[in-house]
Structure 1
Amino acid sequence: MSPVMNLMMFALGTCISSVISKQFVFINEAKTFSEAQIYCRWFHCDLASIEDAADFSLLQAAVRGITDPGAWIGLKKDWVGWRWSLSDSAFYKEGEAEYRRWKVGQPDNAAGIENCGVVDDVGEFWDYPCFTQNPFICYDGNETVLQRYVFVDQKMNWSDAQTFCRQKHTDLVSIRNQDENQQVRDLVPLGTLVFIGLFKDYFRWSDNSWSSFRSWSVGEPDDSGACVEQRLSDINTWADQNCDESRPFICQDGEKMQILRVNLKSVQNVNDPVMKVSIMKQIQQKLVNLGMPKDAKLQWRVQSDGEIFHPLENDMNSQKITC
Structure 2
Amino acid sequence: MKKSTLRCLILTCLFELALCGWNTYIDKDKKWSDARDYCRKHYTDLSSISNQEEDDNLQQHYHIRGWIGLRNDGHGWKWLGGQNASFFNWLDAEDEPIHETGCVLHSARGWRAKDCGETRRFYCFQNNPVVVKESKTWEEAMEQCRMQHKGLVSLPSEAALTETLKTNQDAQTDHVWTGLRYLAGDWLWVSGENASYQPWSPTETPHCPAWTHHCGALSLNGRHLESWDCADKLNFICDTKTTSSP
Place the TM-score, normalised by the shorter chain, in its bin: 0.3 to 0.5
Q: Which has the higher contact order (CA 8 A, sep 6+)?
A: 1
Which protein is bigger by CA-based radius of gyration?
Answer: 1
So what's the TM-score if we normalise by structure 2? Answer: 0.47
Give the TM-score taking structure 1 as reference length: 0.37
